[in-house]
Every structure is written in structure tokens, then in C-alpha cells.
Amino acid sequence: MLLFFGSTILVVYLYRYMPVYYTPLMGIRAWEQHSEGEPLKCSHHWVPLDSITPYMAIAVIASEDQLFTEHNGFDLKAIEQARKEAKEGKRRRGGSTISQQTAKNAFLWPHSTWTRKGFETYFTLLIEWMWDKGRIMEVYLNSIEMGPGIYGVEAVAREHFHRTAATLSREQCALIAATLPNPRRFSSRYPSAYMRKRQRQILQQMRYVEHFWKEWKESINKE
């Protein structure tokens, strides 16, 4: 137990400063590609948060976690709503915050089990304690799966839009964010009519959450 807690705390502390070049998910996807006889692909390019357009952070906050700058890792209302809808037999949706998704992406495996949820809660508490929101967003945008074999904003910007993460437009960021519920099914390179609808919805929401992120960034710069 001491070894587990000591090693996990050390890794989370180191990742407060070090780029996360490789995640368990990348290894799992590579094994799946090998098992299915597909060509191995792992496109990932770590870039600092300042080298990613602010619209990308705003887009994922608008689509995934509008209370990101306010909560301490968990959105209890969203979790309860997801539990209620699952109990009523409605389409399952996630109640995970960006912090929880970052913990899962950086340290754990993708398949949802009670065991993984327990570890996810533990790592979420750790990163909320040891990292600031900017670092959580930086790791999230660099590690999240954004297509088959594509991880992070810089990689998807290069592959799907032939530009860097710093030069993505507001519309392109909203389109990328629209894929995140299932980036292996939805493509920002070949968007469907449903994807375009989601893009428009996210663009509308971005107007409402944009000032929260900008205020947070300004407060950090003053410090």
C-alpha cells in the first residue's frame, strides 16, 4: 500500500512539470491494432498550453464540462443526472468532468468498470490537489484520443486540418470538440450532418463560457 501511494503520488507530481509523451491508452490501442491486423498508428505531438489556441480549451469546456474552472474535480449534479437517466433506461451519457477524463487518459485504461472508476476518483483527487486547472487542461488537450491512432490537439490539427494547434479556428475547435464523446466513430475530418449540428451547438455555448476561461487565465497571469 505504501509503495502504491508513494509511486502514484510521485508520478502525479512529476507530471505536474513533465510532458506526458505516452499513456496507457496509446499502448492499448496499439495492441488492438496489432490484434486486428491493422497498421500501427500513434500520432501524438506534445505542445504547451500556450501553443494551443484558447478556442480549443473554450470549446471542450463548452461541450464537456462547463463548470471546469469552478469545481474541485467532480460535478455532482451531472453525475446524479447521468445515474438517474441510466436508471430510467435512457441513453447513457457520461457525467465525467475534464479532470476525471484527464486522470483516466493519463493514468488508466478506457473500459469502464467499478475498479477503474475507483482509481479514476483517486487520481482525480491527486491531480486536483497537485496541479492547477491550466496544467489539467494542458494534459487533457495533449492526451485525449481524437481519432483512430490520433492523440492530442496538435496531432489532430496536423492530420485533419493541415495546420498547428495554435492556428486552429474557432469553428475547427468546435468541430473537434464535437467528436469527443466517441472520436473513433465521429470524425472532424469528414463531419456528418449530426457533427455539423453539434458544432453549431458548441459554438453557441462557447460564447457563454468564454469569459470564465479568460478570467481564470487573467487571474493566473496577475499572480
Domains assigned to the chain: 47-216 (1.10.3810.10)
pLDDT of res. 78: 65
| Per-residue pLDDT at 181 | 85
d(CA 210, CA 7): 37
Residue 95 pLDDT more than 70? no
Query: Residue 131 pLDDT more than 70?
Result: yes
pTM over 0.85: yes
pLDDT confidence of residue 209: 85
Mean pLDDT, rounded, for 144-172: 96
Per-residue model confidence as pLDDT tens digits over 45-79:
999 999 999 999 999 999 999 999 888 888 777 66
